[in-house]
Amino acid sequence: MEVIVLPTAQDVGIAAAGMIARLVANKPDAVLGLATGASVTAVYEELKALDFSRVTTFNLDEYVGLAPSHPASFHAFMETHLFSRVNIDRRRAHFPPTRSDDLARSCEKYERDIRSAGGIDLQLLGIGRDGHLGFNEPTSSLASRTRIKTLTRLTREANQPAFGTEQVPLHVVTMGIATLLEARHCLLIADGPAKAAAVAQMVEGPLSAMVPASALQLHPHATVIVDEDAAAGLSLRDYYREVQRNKPQWQR
């Protein structure tokens, strides 16, 4: 796992956006896995000038039962923070199925659609304070696929601000851990002190379904970019900085 520690959240967003921009410049028809949440807004802010005309996207998760027009839906989040600002073909912007009358079959179709698109070239990720990826809550199977999940109280509390006085939905559909591990590159970003414990457990802790993000330890090309606050729990910070300082030119 490659760990990059940068001074600020804005630096993290710029660095992550740079990786995405280099991929799309080299592969204009790239398939991107996209995430939502406060952490990734800094990334999308930097992608406004990127040519998305041939890009295909698959979003990580969505609440069950929310209309795409609901202001707290991840459809609305993506429209606000990215899709309304770039030249993406919305027929290529895919979201997990959350309003189907046969969710199990629709989830299997989502997995097939990802494979039919050639698989995900780069999966952008945030991390929950409890170490969840997407909406793969603690004890999610590390072999899981796109499916319906029930949110923990902590996750619902963390997402309450987007819903105001409305109840946060109890159920969601999320790509599974196995789905994420099949992406050719996983790029996880985190900032702020609230993520320090989860980042430390993900990077330096044991592989455990209790910390779904620890599954990235199994991924052959996982990059974690964090600011100093989110890196505070990492015991090998100096080593990670040494690795970055001595990265061979061809790897940059």
* 204/127 Cα distance (integer angstroms): 15
Q: Catalytic site residue 229?
A: no
Count interface residues toward ligand GLP (CB under 6 A): 13
Question: Which entry of 81, 132, 185, 219 is annotated as an active-site residue?
Answer: 132
User: Smaller CB distance to ligand GLP: residue 31 or 172?
Assistant: 172
Binding residue for ligand GLP (CB under 6 A) from 128, 131, 205, 233?
A: 128
C-beta of 192: minimal distance to ligand GLP in Å?
A: 8
Site for ligand GLP in 16-45 (CB under 6 A): 35-39
* 20/17 Cα distance (integer angstroms): 5
Torsional class of 164: left (φ above 0), alpha (ψ -120 to 50), beta (otherwise): left
Which residues touch 222 (CB under 8 Å, ≥6 apart)?
Answer: 1, 2, 185, 186, 187, 188, 216
User: Smaller CB distance to ligand GLP: residue 9 or 234?
Assistant: 9
Q: Find tokens 């105001």 and name the residue.
A: 164
Binding residue for ligand GLP (CB under 6 A) from 96, 126, 176, 212?
A: 126
Binding residue for ligand GLP (CB under 6 A) from 61, 121, 130, 182?
A: 61
Structure tokens, 56: 């295909």
Question: Which entry of 61, 111, 182, 191 is annotated as an active-site residue?
Answer: 61
C-beta of 249: minimal distance to ligand GLP in Å?
A: 32
Q: How many CB atoms lie within 10 A of CB 164?
A: 8
Q: Find tokens 């304070």 and name the residue.
A: 129
Q: Catalytic site residue 221?
A: no
- CA angle in degrees (0–180, nearest 5) for 127-208-108: 70
Q: Catalytic site residue 130?
A: yes
Site for ligand GLP in 139-198 (CB under 6 A): 155
Torsional class of 143: left (φ above 0), alpha (ψ -120 to 50), beta (otherwise): alpha
C-beta of 139: minimal distance to ligand GLP in Å?
A: 15
User: Smaller CB distance to ligand GLP: residue 18 or 161?
Assistant: 161
**What Rg value do the Cα atoms of the chain yield, rounded?**
17
C-beta of 35: minimal distance to ligand GLP in Å?
A: 5
Structure tokens, 167: 């109840």
Active-site residue list:
61, 130, 132, 137
